Each structure stands twice: as structure tokens, then as C-alpha cells.
Amino acid sequence: MKTVAIINHKGGVGKTTFTGCTAQALALCGFRVLVIDNDSQHNLSTMMGSGVQSPGIADVYGADAGSAPAVFLRAVKKSVLPGLHIVTSHRDLSERSIAERHVLETVLAACGLERFYDYVLIDNAPGMDMLQACAITAADELFVPTELRQFAVDGIVEMAQVLENRCPDGGRISRIIPNFYRDTRKQNTYISVLRRMFPGKVTETAVPVDAVFDELVTENKVLFIHRLYSRGAAYYLKLVHELFNLDEDSVWQSVVEKRKQRLSEDARARFLGRRAETTEAPA
């Protein structure tokens, strides 16, 4: 099992969209995936079709050491896709209930999640406080989605320094994912700068600007089910292939097959629903 924390101490860089789309792609490839919404805005909980449920991650942090693993297991909920589960968040989530940064790491180990999952992805709010420290300490790798602007590039450099100071026993950036890519000269310059400063860590795949991502949120859709042939979906599948060292053709075939199965099941459910309504309608 691999645990990945998705972090960036700046907001609006696409962390939640990245976490959700990556988790959905991995699930459609046949992997068992758990996502943890470690953000009080709970947007990932909405994106996963789960909404805010109780117990959630805030209840895990608030529990005593002996009961926290049991609370965590009760907090695991189904998402809209088979094989993809979520621990949801709540607006009351706060670092004030966290005793120390090893809490989440200890809980995950106590639950024996490697028996149930191949990947655990932890979405985080902007910042570098105790909430993010818990995710960083629990993670094997840190993925950093980023905009391609000067402030964003400077922020990653600063964040790397903070990680080195606050987490001397680990917590180093594994991969940097360029987001909102428009293929301009300035953006390509920023990518070159990042590659020079973080050699081997910047992905070759940059996620393009695509209105499809906003549609997913407003219409509660799954990118690879409802918009598989969009530009955004194509680049995310390339990105998942790159980040997790998967075979590109196998990724595509698995997603296409799972999509066909899901659409068939949805069509059957709609048909049976309409037939039931017709049967129950008064003469």
C-alpha cells in the first residue's frame, strides 16, 4: 500500500480536483483506493458523491488513542465508484483537536489498511499547520499540484524549506504536477525553472486548462465515466500512467471497459425505474 499526501500551502492550485480525478482513475484501473478529505471545506467529499457524513476525519482526530482506529474504520464510506472509498470531512475540522503530528500515521497503521487498499490519497487544505503535518507524516510520498506563476514557484521553494525544517525525519516533495497549463512561453519557462530546482520531480505531463473540470463539480459527474473523451480526461490518464508507473494501454483499456459497464448499469437502473413508475401509476 502506498500513501500519498497532496499538498501545497497555496490555495486554488487544483489539489482537490487532482486528488479526486487521480483516485477515480486508479479505481477504474482496478486498484482499491481510499481518499481522506483532510480539509474543512470538504470539497472532496462532495466531489466523491458522499457529502459530509459522520463519523469523519474530525472525529478520528478528536478520539482518544485507544478508540481512534475504530472510529476511523467506521468513518470509511463508499463513493460513487466501486473500489473507491472516502473518509469525509466537515467544516468543524480544526488542528486544535490534534495532539501531535503522528496521530494519523498511528491510526492508519493500527487499522491495517494494507489488507484493504492499494493506495491512500490524502487531500489537504492550503497551509502548513498541524493538519497538513499529520498528512505529511503519514504519507510515503508528497505530490504537489501547482499553478505556473512566479508566486506559485516561489511558494514551492519555500514549502520545501519548511518541510526540511519541520519534518527532518521525512516529508520531502516526491512529484510536482504543473496545473492549468496553457502552453505559453512564460509557463514553459516556469516549468523549466522548477525542473532545474527540483530535478526528476516535475512530471512530463501538465494538466491543461479545461472547462470540463468545472462541469464535473457543478453536475456531480465522474470525469472518466461522463467525459472520457475530453482533453482533461486524456491528460489525467497520461498523468496517472506517469505517476504510478502503469502501462498506458492497460490503463486506457481498463477505464474504457469499466466505463462501458457503468453506463450499462446506469441505463438499466433508469429503465427499471421508469417501468416501476409506469406500473405504479393509477389507471
Q: Where are the domains of the chain?
A: 2-280
Confidence (pLDDT) at 270: 85
Q: Over the chain, what is the mean pLDDT?
A: 92
Q: Output the pLDDT for position 280.
A: 66
pLDDT tens-digit map of 133-170: 999 999 999 999 999 999 998 999 999 998 988 876 77
Is residue 221 a contact partner of residue 190, using CB atoms and an 8 Å limit? no
pLDDT above 80 (res 31): yes
Q: Which of 29, 11, 24 is nearest to 245 (CA)?
A: 29
pLDDT of residue 277: 74
- In this prediction, residue 50 carries a pLDDT of 79
pLDDT at 182: 95
Q: Read off the pLDDT of each residue in 31-56 and give the average, rounded to a whole number.
A: 91
pLDDT digits (tens, 9 = 90+) for 80-112: 899 999 999 988 888 887 888 899 999 999 999
pLDDT (0 to 100) of residue 274: 80
Q: In CATH, which superfamily holds the domain spanning 2-280?
A: P-loop containing nucleotide triphosphate hydrolases (3.40.50.300)
What's the confidence (pLDDT) of residue 106? 96
What does residue 120 show for φ and ψ, rounded to 5 degrees? Answer: -120, 125
What is the reported pTM? 0.93
Judged against a pLDDT cut of 60, whether residue 131 lies above it is answered with yes
Q: Cβ(53)–Cβ(80) under 8 Å?
A: no
Residues 6+ apart with CB under 8 A from 104: 36, 60, 61, 122, 134, 135, 137, 138
- 201 neighbors 173 (Cβ within 8 angstroms): yes
pLDDT at 164: 86
